[in-house]
């Protein structure tokens, strides 16, 4: 099987490409910048291609002979759809590392086309949303009575440029939750609550994380909220941004903010990635009962590398599943995240009463 990392010269793409070589894998590196992709490919001893996503013909030519693409070039709001169209045309399996709700929705809407093309379409094969999607699927498997799901996470280490740009886009879009199975737009930091870690309470706010979309597909649980921890002062600042919604959606403002990201955000270095971890909470309720599960993982970028390459390796080693859209837990099973290095259920107890 021939496979490709597109956006290989970006922050996360470089990490994935370097680890792939350490594992003896030989991906084709590709991206929009010939100079950057060629330099990385020569450094790693890999083949490379350059193509942009502006013209369908260019994408299809770039994917010629490629069986699977791991798409790492964000913001995915702009790049996912043209890459997916190219994959449908060339019958190339599509994976990406997005966390954007609208990208998940668009990919899911292509399910029938993916079935007809015989390709797997699975967005979100990194930190967004492998650990949280698997956590949700584990809880649903063990608590089939659940009617509501709350996911929360506490992640350190800072943002990559691509993630920071996606966050900028989210400022003007507000929040999202699931209610009765339907997506609902809500204000930024719509709700707050606390989660307990190591005996201390952590304040958290709702965010439009990808699981608002994917966890419903994976579990069918109709009410879903996702939280991230943040200091009270940060939550207060985010809530004040609600007043600037129309301004934050303006193209000129979005462009200015993204240019600031390009100048100032470089992504966490290796020392920071090694020194930081992420902590997840999953909570389900229904029929007067409640259950909670907690999980510890490596830094989000480190987990993105191992999670995405683990899925690629599954394609390399086994016949591909039937074509169609899959969430990560549907594709790999609810316990897939527990196979990744540095991931553990906190306290060793899979389920604890609340």
Contacts (Cβ under 8 Å, ≥6 apart) of 169: 75, 77, 100, 254
CA distances from 157 to 28, 45, 262, 267, 268 (A): 29, 30, 18, 8, 6
Burial of residue 89, with CB atoms counted within 10 A of its CB: 0-12 exposed, 13-18 middle, 19 or more buried: middle
List, for residues 234-249, the tens digit of each pLDDT value: 999 889 888 777 767 7
| Closest by Cα among 286, 311, 328, 347 to 135 | 328
The whole-angstrom separation of Cα 273 and Cα 267 is: 10
**Same domain, residue pair 153 and 286:** yes
**Same domain, residue pair 74 and 208:** no
The pLDDT value given to residue 30? 98
Average pLDDT (17-42) is 98
Average pLDDT, the chain: 92
Domain holding 153: CATH number? 3.30.360.10
**Same domain, residue pair 287 and 277:** yes
The whole-angstrom separation of Cα 280 and Cα 10 is: 27
**Same domain, residue pair 27 and 8:** yes
**Same domain, residue pair 164 and 280:** yes
List, for residues 160-195, the tens digit of each pLDDT value: 667 666 676 666 678 999 999 999 999 999 999 999
**Same domain, residue pair 148 and 245:** yes
**Same domain, residue pair 284 and 315:** no
**Same domain, residue pair 291 and 175:** yes
Average pLDDT (270-295) is 93
What residue numbers bound the domain in which 344 lies?
130-300+338-353
List, for residues 325-351, the tens digit of each pLDDT value: 999 999 999 999 999 999 999 854 333
What is the pTM assigned to this prediction? 0.93
The pLDDT value given to residue 240? 86
**Same domain, residue pair 85 and 199:** no
List, for residues 101-111, the tens digit of each pLDDT value: 999 999 999 99
CA distances from 101 to 126, 211, 227 (A): 14, 8, 15
What DSSP string describes 107-126? Answer: HHHTHHHHHHHT-EEE---B
| Closest by Cα among 103, 159, 97, 101 to 128 | 97
**Same domain, residue pair 168 and 50:** no
Paired tokens of 170: 């989210």
Q: Assign 272 a pLDDT band (cuts: 50, 70, 90).
A: confident
Domain holding 321: CATH number? 3.40.50.720
User: What sections of the chain are H helices per DSSP?
Assistant: 11-22, 34-44, 56-62, 76-90, 101-109, 111-117, 130-142, 161-171, 211-219, 232-240, 245-249, 251-264, 270-275, 300-317, 328-332
**Same domain, residue pair 8 and 28:** yes
Q: Is 214 within 8 Å of 226 (Cβ atoms)?
A: no
**Same domain, residue pair 224 and 317:** no
Give percent above pLDDT 90 in the chain. Answer: 79
List, for residues 253-263, the tens digit of each pLDDT value: 768 777 776 77
| Closest by Cα among 214, 222, 198, 175 to 326 | 214
Average pLDDT (68-90) is 96
* Domains of the chain: total: 2
The pLDDT value given to residue 353? 34
């Amino acid at each position: 099987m021939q496979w490709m990392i597109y956006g290989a010269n970006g922050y996360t793409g470089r990490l994935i490409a370097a680890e792939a070589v350490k594992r003896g894998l030989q991906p084709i590196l590709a991206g929009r910048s010939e100079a950057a992709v060629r330099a990385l490919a020569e450094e790693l001893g890999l083949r490379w291609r350059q193509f942009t996503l502006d013209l369908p013909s260019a994408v299809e030519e770039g994917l010629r002979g490629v069986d699977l693409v791991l798409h790492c070039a964000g913001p995915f709001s702009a790049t996912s759809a043209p890459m997916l169209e190219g994959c449908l045309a060339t019958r190339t399996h599509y994976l990406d590392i997005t966390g954007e709700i609208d990208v998940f929705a668009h990919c899911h809407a292509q399910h029938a086309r993916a079935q007809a093309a015989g390709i797997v379409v699975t967005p979100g094969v990194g930190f967004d949303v492998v650990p949280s999607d698997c956590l949700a699927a584990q809880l649903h498997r063990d608590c089939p009575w659940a009617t509501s799901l709350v996911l929360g996470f506490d992640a350190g280490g800072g943002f990559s440029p691509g993630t920071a740009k996606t966050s900028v886009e989210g400022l003007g879009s507000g929040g999202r939750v699931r209610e009765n199975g339907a997506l609902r737009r809500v204000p930024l930091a719509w709700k707050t609550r606390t989660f307990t870690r190591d005996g201390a309470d952590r304040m958290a706010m709702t965010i439009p994380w990808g699981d608002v979309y994917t966890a419903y597909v994976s579990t069918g649980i109709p009410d879903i909220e996702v939280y991230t921890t943040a200091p009270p002062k940060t939550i207060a600042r985010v809530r004040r941004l609600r007043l600037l919604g129309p301004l934050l959606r303006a193209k000129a403002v979005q462009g200015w903010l993204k240019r600031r990201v390009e100048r100032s955000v470089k992504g966490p270095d290796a020392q920071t990635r090694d020194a930081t971890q992420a902590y997840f909470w999953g909570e389900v309720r229904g029929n007067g009962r409640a259950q909670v599960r907690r999980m510890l993982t490596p830094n989000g970028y480190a987990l993105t590398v191992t999670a995405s390459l683990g899925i690629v390796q599954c394609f390399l080693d086994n016949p591909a599943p039937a074509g169609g859209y899959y969430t990560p837990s549907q594709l790999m099973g609810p316990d897939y995240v527990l196979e990744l290095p540095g991931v553990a259920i906190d306290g060793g107890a899979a389920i604890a009463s609340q």
